[in-house]
Amino acid sequence: MAVLVFSPGYSAPLPGHVFRPDKFRLAFDVLIREKSVTAADVAAPAKISKKDLLSVHTPAWTRKCLSGRFTAADSAAAEMKITKAVIRSHLLHAGGTVKAVQLALDGGLGINCGGGSHHARADRGAGFCLVNDLALAALKARKEAGVKKVMIVDLDVHQGDGTAAVFRGDRSVFTFSMHQADIYPEKKEKSSLDVPLPRGTGGAAYLRALRRTLPKAMDRFKPGLVIYLAGADVCRGDLLGGLALSPADLRRRETFVAGLCRDRNIPLAVTLGGGYRKAAAGAARLHAGSIKTVLKAYK
């Protein structure tokens, strides 16, 4: 049975941009080359419909996503040039997270080798994000798969402000965000639980904070599904982050989160999110390490 979702279309070109979409293809190549996954383990993204987009996004933004008719102001808000290839890739990433959720509900675990667009708002893109795949997949699971409560665990270095805004006041979705306090977004949203961390926080303090907060939140909320944003931009040397985890700390984090879900029999869908290095291969190695660690936890 497939456990990993990937499409070559995830890697739309963004020349000269700090966000390197080719990291997703490179991470997938690492997993195949090291035989962490085989072709039989890989599924294609689900197709995203207009109805799916409208569950999260406004009619105006949905029309733009489907037509590709974006303005210069739209690109400025998203902080990247939105081409038709870029929007196609973001729709594929959203389909990948939907498919990862389907795999998780069917077999306990699904991993999207991409996704994690947690800054996208209902009416616009933001922070390199155009379609909020986390929110879309959570709502689809509730409406079509009968999942009563979804927890979104966001461990990207940046707060999941778009996701928090989408689910403001919705008690059926718990948004957990542990992030660096003094970086983008400047104006934070209120998640169900925010755990802001100071610049320079290292692995030991980071993991202590996670162990102190996430299990209690999970046991209190009792989700029927966890969607996990496993951002690699918490690691030391990230171009957009200021935390100081090592690759080994990142693996410890993934082992902990995967273990919480596995031991509680909560279906787990994983997305990758941020990770910004001078060379895309550096981010790809971190993402591949996260995926390998989660797979190992479920063997």
DSSP structural state of residue 129: B
- Rounded CA Rg of the chain: 17
Contacts of 35 (CB under 8 A, 6+ apart): none
Which residue of the set 90, 93, 119, 179 is catalytic? 119
17 to each of 31, 150, 276, how far by Cα in Å? Answer: 25, 33, 10
Contacts of 269 (CB under 8 A, 6+ apart): 97, 100, 101, 103, 104, 109, 110, 111, 112, 137, 225, 226, 227, 228
Given its phi and psi angles, is residue 114 left (phi above 0), alpha (psi -120 to 50 degrees) or beta? left
Peptide bond into 267 cis (omega under 30): no
In three-state secondary structure terms, 52 is helix
Tell me if residue 17 is catalytic.
no
Of 127, 143, 190, the residue nearest 135 (C-alpha): 143
Contacts of 202 (CB under 8 A, 6+ apart): 243, 244, 245, 249
Half-sphere exposure in the Cβ direction for 99 (13 Å, CA): 25
CB 131 within 8 A of CB 53: yes
Tokens matching residue 18 = 């700090």
Q: What are phi and psi of 273, to 5 degrees?
A: 70, -145
Catalytic positions are: 119
